[in-house]
Each structure stands twice: as structure tokens, then as C-alpha cells.
Amino acid sequence: MQRFKEDFIFGTATSSYQIEGAVNEAGRTPSIWDTFSLTPGKVNNGDTGDVACDHYNRFEEDIEIIKSLGVDSYRFSIAWPRVFPHEGQYNPEGMAFYKRLATRLKEEGIRPFVTLYHWDLPQWAYEKGGWTNRESINWFMEFAEKCFEELDDVVDMWITHNEPWCVAMLGYYEGVHAPGHQNLQEAIQVAHHLLLSHGMAVQYYKETLKKDKPIGITLNLSPVYPASVEEMDYTAAQHFDGYLNRWFLDPVFKGSYPEDMKALYGKNGCDFDFIHDGDLELISIPCDFFGINFYNRALIEASADHPFLYQHAESDYPKTGMGWDISPNEFRELIYRVREDYTRLPIFITENGAAFDDQLEEDGTVKDEGRKSYVEQHLETIAALNEEGMGIQGYYLWSLLDNFEWAFGYDKRFGITYVDFKTQKRYVKDSAKRYTEIVRARTI
């Protein structure tokens, strides 16, 4: 049996577009995810976030669920197009929703952990070039400043960006996320502007406002392994690690982009004119913590068909409903690597969780053994890591509710609460009950 310290923070997480619905309420305008999901062929079954979990109208009920879980904290994000529905036009009614939400949470003793950007770029900003345009930093800053000004009193911690890799690479290179472009030059430019806007927001928060809540960034990291001892597979793995992990870790913690990846992107026709003097100093500005979203390891082999000469290899690991390897041991190695190569900042696991094919039983239970065991394995790993001095200060289970799983729509259920999307009724799954036990006992 392992113990978590009294001040370890247990939480659960969501994001605005995935749960809120109410896309036309209180002055909200479309985000790129509205546009993308309404474009035929982009999202499974043609699903959209139009209604999602209707959390915008049901947040009181959802806070009751959060309370019943016994968690210390709840992580959510702010829909930018609610707050700035048009360029330069602030919408207090949109902000009021987040004020109500955070205030209610605080009244219940649940600490609000707020992400500014979890992928729902206003459509108006996209039409002016979106994140490929360096101007996007100014639009983001206007949004960030308003959020700091209006919400800092009721927020406990801030995250600037969630998973810039997904925004840049899935959105602008692989084309499977909004806005669905396939252009490497754009993707690395987007990544740069996201990181710059992160640095600028942190600088503004700490140095200009002199506010003191912890502020940081969340990256999605997957430790990468070559599928064999062949040189080619090692090279492929190194490329994939550079693409997924180092392209973001290096600028944030070392103030430089990895040279091998610059060479590779250069070979694929990219230039780096978008990097200006002083940018990397800003990107690597010290933060208060480092947020990591962890789901799986990656097993990689060589492929001549891909510009970066890699492909995912067949693996014999047990898998989640996404087909992702269940890999708590590699999670452990990832944390050691982050500690050795990158940072000693406090670490928060800002997301971890799994999708499975859940079955709602007649008695209203969901016996999600797979998810329960996934969560247990990762929490055991964290407890052990902390005994070895790894300094993980909190854990946010993804996700509070089944929700809009981006390009997969509602088919993939990540919730510890089951949502019947026809009736909007919520059912607490067995994994949630187990999580509550762990949280209450602070023991696993």
C-alpha cells in the first residue's frame, strides 16, 4: 500500500468545446471546431459540439458530481469565442459563465484549475490567418488579459495552452483536427506562435500584473521506443520523438529548437524566418509548474513512405479503446527523463485516462473494469515516483464526463461519468467510485 501526501491534489478535467454545447447562447460565435465538425467527413458520424454534455446549462448538476467524487480540484477551459465573439469585442455575458462556475467551485472547496486555450480558436481569428499569423499573439493576449483580470480571484492555477502539439501538428500538418490543413511550414509556425503567446501571457501575468497564482503550460508527451535494435528504427524513433516531444520541450525548457529536427524540417521544405530575435527567451520564461498529459507510449519503426521516415509499429501491449498501449512503466521512464533532461519544476499530471467501450447496465451502473485498472496502475506509478522524489504534485483524471472526443465524436467515451447523450442523464461509473475511494483514503 502506498500513501499520497496530504497536499497532493486529486482532480478531474474537461475542456470547453468537448462538454459545453450551447454554441449559440449568450453571444458566443463559432470556433474553428464548430466549422470543422460541421464539415462533412471530418468527425465520426458527423457529430458536433452543438449540444455535447449541455454543461453550459447543467454546470450546477456537474458540480454536484465533482463534489461527490471528493476531489480537491477541477480543471476546465475557457471558450475564447464566448469571451471575444468578435475581434476586439469583449462579451461580459460570456465571461460571466466562467465566473459563476469558478465561484461555485470555490464555495464547495474545489480548486479551479483553468486552461486558457484548449483548441477552440474563434472563427473570426481563423479568418485573419489564425495561429499561422503572428498577430494571433496579440489576439490571444487580449483574451488572456481579460481572463486574468476577471477571474484571477476565483482561480487557483492557470494553464496557458493545452497540448500545442495537437493544435499545430494535428490541426495544420496531419489535418485530422481543426482547421484541417496539411502544411508542415504552417504547422511549425503555429507551434511557434502558440509557444510565444504562452511566454507572453506568463510574462504579463507575473511581471506586469504581479499576480501570484501558479501559471504554466501543458504538453502531451509520449515516450518513444524503437521497435527493434535496427539503426533505421532508432532513427525513426528519434524523428518521432523530435516531432512529438522535443519540438516543444526544448524551446520551453532550453530556449532552443532541436537542431536535428530543424534539419529534417528544412529538408522537407521549411524555413524558419518566423523565429525572431528574442522569441526563444520569451518562450523559455520560467513558469511555476509543468503540466503533462500522459496517455500512452509510442512504438516506432522505419518507413520510407513518411517524410520523417517513421511509422507506428505493431505492439503486443494491452490496449485501451483507442488502441493506445497501456504503459505505466513507460510513464515512469518519461517522468525520469523530464527530470533529468528538462526541469525540476513541480509536475502536475494534468490529464491521464482511457476510453473503453462502456456498457450502461439496467440498474444504472457501468462496470468499467478496464478504466478502473488503467487509473489504478497510473496512480500506483505516481505514488512510487513520488517516493523516489519525483515531485508530482497533482493528478487530473480525464475526464469528468463522456464528451465530444474531437475527430472521434461521441463514439469514444473517456468519462468516469457516463453520459446518455439522448437524455443528458449522468451515471457515475465504477471507475469513479474507485477513484473516490483512493482520493478519500489518499492511499492506493
Q: Enumerate binding residues for ligand GBH (CB under 6 A).
A: 15, 18, 162-163, 166, 220, 222, 293, 295-296, 298, 324, 351, 398, 405, 414
- CA atoms of 115 and 15, how far apart (whole Å): 8
C-beta of 77: minimal distance to ligand GBH in Å?
A: 9
Residue closer to ligand GBH by CB (options 299, 392) is 299
C-beta of 294: minimal distance to ligand GBH in Å?
A: 8
Q: Which residue is nearest to ligand GBH (CB)?
A: 298
Backbone φ, ψ for residue 366 (5° rounding): -130, 115
**Distant-in-sequence, close-in-space partners of 435: CB < 8 Å, separation ≥ 6:** 10, 12, 69, 71, 375, 397, 416
**Distant-in-sequence, close-in-space partners of 320: CB < 8 Å, separation ≥ 6:** 295, 296, 326, 354, 355, 356, 370, 374
Nearest CA among 49, 112, 36 for reference residue 79 = 49
Residue closer to ligand GBH by CB (options 219, 280) is 219
- CA atoms of 289 and 88, how far apart (whole Å): 31
Cβ-contact 2, 387 below 8 angstroms: yes
C-beta of 255: minimal distance to ligand GBH in Å?
A: 25
C-beta of 312: minimal distance to ligand GBH in Å?
A: 6
Cβ-contact 16, 118 below 8 angstroms: yes
Residue closer to ligand GBH by CB (options 282, 335) is 335
**Helix H or strand E segment including 35:** helix 32-37
Residue in 20, 163, 186, 351 annotated catalytic: 351
Tell me the residue type at 297.
Answer: R
C-beta of 132: minimal distance to ligand GBH in Å?
A: 21
Active site residue 64: no
Residue closer to ligand GBH by CB (options 203, 377) is 377
Residue closer to ligand GBH by CB (options 368, 405) is 405
What's the length of the chain? 444
Residues tagged active-site? 351
